[in-house]
């Protein structure tokens, strides 16, 4: 059994991680850390876990084999500075601290996009989990980058559910703002852009063209729906391009190319990523969808853990979405 601890145990990603790990056959949850909620039953904070576990929040991490860091962005480095985490303890960080700056003392973090770095993750002691928007967009573009087919500006419009903003309520997250409402935020400046560009370049593209990314807030709870397009190569036919995508994702147990248009509910509550590809006036248009809390965060973190410990990649992650 893999003994794990979860730091930052009260947030959405921690709650989703607990939902998955409680039914993972190879995991024992040693502690769920929250300095502000120590002693409180986990089921009181995460109401969907009421009756599922009798664990209480702790203010210390014990002696785990692996720690999941579900802390706010920028807080993982602080946690590691303030806590004496043994070098033998592996780390999966769900924040953004190590995605673009992978070194921390003796630790080096591998970027945890399984569809790109599967073999590196198998050998890793520390993993930086990708961001949710970044995962959705990278899945749409990785086959093009790997074949050096990204040669023109990339255009992305993507909409996310309210859970993407975290659990702490704010002016643009409360019900009266979100309900029956859509809004743009951080156009062309979103923090995931650096992560996306670095990954596409490392995937094989000689240089990554400009990415014009317009993120949007949706009036739903979970999921990301991305519309991505760029000029096609011109040398590959539509059928050849689709086969290129299907061949690229053939080793992945969670990413699938659909021949028919896709809708967001098909992935919600699952670790799947679905893609649909069309061609219009010289452009390739890719629709990409994931659940931001599962494939975009906690599910992908468990997928990384499975790889790190030599387990079947799908262990504990055979979750089914609901299309109605």
E runs forming strands in the chain = 2-7, 27-33, 66-69, 90-93, 103-104, 107-108, 110-111, 126-128, 154-160, 183-184, 211-217, 224-231, 255-258, 273-280, 283-290
Output the CA torsion sign for 37, 43, 47, 48.
Answer: positive
- Please check whether residue 97 is in contact with residue 73, taking contact to mean a CB–CB distance below 8 angstroms: yes
Strands lying side by side in the sheet with 110-111? 27-33, 2-7, 66-69, 90-93, 126-128, 110-111
> Does the annotation count 70 as an active-site position?
no
- Please check whether residue 139 is in contact with residue 126, taking contact to mean a CB–CB distance below 8 angstroms: no
Take residue 1 and report the two structure tokens written for it: 């059994």
Integer distance in angstroms from the first to the last C-alpha of the chain? 36
Residues listed for the chain: 324
Residues involved in catalysis: 132
């Amino acid at each position: 059994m893999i003994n794990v601890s979860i730091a930052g145990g009260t947030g959405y990603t921690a709650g989703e991680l607990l939902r998955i790990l409680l039914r993972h056959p190879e995991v024992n949850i040693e502690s769920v850390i929250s300095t502000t909620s120590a002693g409180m039953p986990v089921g009181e904070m995460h109401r969907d876990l009421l009756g599922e576990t009798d664990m209480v929040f702790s203010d210390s991490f014990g002696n785990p084999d692996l720690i999941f860091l579900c802390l706010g962005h920028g807080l993982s480095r602080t946690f590691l500075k303030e806590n004496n985490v043994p070098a033998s303890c592996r780390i999966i960080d769900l924040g953004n601290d190590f995605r673009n700056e992978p070194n921390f003392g003796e630790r080096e973090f591998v970027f945890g996009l399984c569809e790109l770095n599967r073999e590196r993750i198998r050998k890793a002691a520390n993993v930086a989990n990708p961001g949710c928007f970044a995962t959705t967009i990278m899945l749409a573009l990785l086959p093009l980058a790997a074949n050096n087919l990204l040669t023109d500006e990339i255009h992305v419009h993507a909409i996310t559910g309210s859970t993407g903003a975290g659990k702490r309520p704010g002016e643009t997250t409360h019900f009266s703002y979100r309900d029956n409402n859509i809004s743009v935020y951080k156009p062309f400046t979103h923090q995931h852009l650096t992560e996306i560009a670095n990954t596409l370049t490392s995937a094989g593209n000689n240089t990554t063209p400009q990415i014009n990314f317009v993120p949007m807030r949706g009036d739903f709870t979970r999921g990301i729906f991305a519309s991505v397009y760029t000029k096609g190569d011109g040398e590959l036919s539509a059928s050849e391009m689709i086969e290129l995508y299907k061949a690229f994702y053939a080793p992945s147990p969670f990413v699938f190319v659909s021949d028919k248009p896709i809708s967001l509910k098909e992935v919600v509550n699952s670790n799947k990523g679905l893609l649909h590809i069309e061609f219009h006036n010289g452009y390739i248009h890719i629709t990409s969808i994931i659940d931001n809390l599962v494939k975009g965060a906690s599910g992908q973190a468990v997928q990384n853990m499975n790889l790190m410990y030599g387990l079947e990649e799908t262990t504990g992650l055979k979750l089914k979405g609901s299309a109605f």
